[in-house]
Structure 1
């Protein structure tokens, strides 16, 4: 168990592709053992193999953030493998259906809202709370919630997506509540915006690479003990929200 004591472990949800995979690769490259959280067994296995081929210590964790049983099972796997968790990146997210005015506020499909919230907000809470006992065993635990400036009440960027954008507004709000709760502890939690990144999420029609999108998560995951808490950041600094 010597490796457990020497090596920090990071769990990234939705880590089999896109920004999540880039976060896993980036943290692995600076010495983290990476737990690849993903629903799809085949894609998760392929992601782990790609990371290992790059010399990164990685293992897969079956994880559906919308399932309480899956989340509890994932925590048990990490406890067995490493005994603690140093970094949690809540990256898993969905945009939700947009057909037939599903995300136009005037014709909003509430089933779409529920589905988006279940992954983007409730999923982050499920995973965070399940992993807290493991995070509390770390010297400098960090939680990063991957948000979007589309959720900013000040900036109001991007197209009108009433379910998706509102989910990120709520994620920012819940991040602030966690930060208040953890104020007198060594647990530091922040939200990060990756910017407009070329992934299947955006139809690969965006100017930023997954690696560029991952940079803010890696920075927030490795903040010093006197780093900011409960904030919302991108590569430029604080995001108004």
Structure 2
């Protein structure tokens, strides 16, 4: 039986492209109302027009996740248009595409990274997750239910050579998600982490890295890799599930190990 998400409201940061856009499209295709957000308003408008042209129940609001004022304004806009938020997906992130990182050699050392780049990555991937959660989660608490999703990366990426500061920024976000899962458990809010489980072809991936994977015949995941997992987390099949980390590329095996049958 197909999952019916009519009446289910989702807000996703970084929703104008890549995995965020594909997750939005997946949830929309099952009847959800989805608000996509992004910092780049031109890209956001293009994504909104594409999805709305397909007759989907989509809205768009610009958000710079690292800017508290921007997030606060988005909350005010949301409250004018909607009376509940069922799922918040913290997906906006930057890495090798951060300003100042584009000119670094592939074999660079951590001391070659501009401090401004480090700040930008941490402000988006860690502080941004906190700001967005702290502003939007109270809407869920008010209704006594909700699902908070953190998009992360594979555990080995967090400490692998060459992954400063991206890896640690995601490790910090995962630790934050674990703490929030415990704090929100008794308030009816589920908090879970999902990650693709490998190199994924998105705008955050540098051209050089993609070429390296192609040259060495290594697997490159597509942005749609998260779709089945995010649909599961939006469905009633995941009710009460919190504090989990789901590797999207191994999602079917994860379901099997949990003894869960999921029809999407």
Q: TM-score by structure 2 length? A: 0.78
RMSD across aligned positions (CA): 2.4
For each residue in 1:121-164, what CA deviation from the matched residue of structure 2 results, as whole angstroms up to 9, or x when unmatched?
Answer: 100110111102222244641011100015666xx56x612100
Q: For 1:103 and 1:68, locate their aligned partners in 2 and report how far apart those are by CA, in whole Å.
A: 33
**What is the correspondence of 1:85-96 to structure 2 with a 5 Å cutoff?**
85-95=85-95, 96=98
In the alignment, what sits opposite 1:49? 49
For each residue in 1:20-39, what CA deviation from the matched residue of structure 2 results, as whole angstroms up to 9, or x when unmatched?
Answer: 10011011111110101112
**What is the correspondence of 1:159-238 to structure 2 with a 5 Å cutoff?**
160-195=162-197, 196-203=199-206, 205=210, 207-222=220-235, 224-227=238-241, 229-235=242-248, 236=250
Q: For 1:232 and 1:22, locate their aligned partners in 2 and report how far apart those are by CA, in whole Å.
A: 20
Q: TM-score by structure 1 length? A: 0.85
Runs of 4+ in 1 over 4 A off after TM superposition: 100-103, 150-153
In the alignment, what sits opposite 1:28? 28
Q: Return the offset for 1:105.
A: 3.2
Q: Return the offset for 1:211.
A: 1.1
Q: Structure 1 unaligned segments of length 5 or more: list them.
A: 1-5
1:148 matches 2:153: yes
Q: Which has the larger radius of gyration?
A: 2
Match of 1:136, SS state, is: helix
Match of 1:60, SS state, is: strand
Q: Structure 2 unaligned segments of length 5 or more: list them.
A: 1-5, 211-218, 255-264
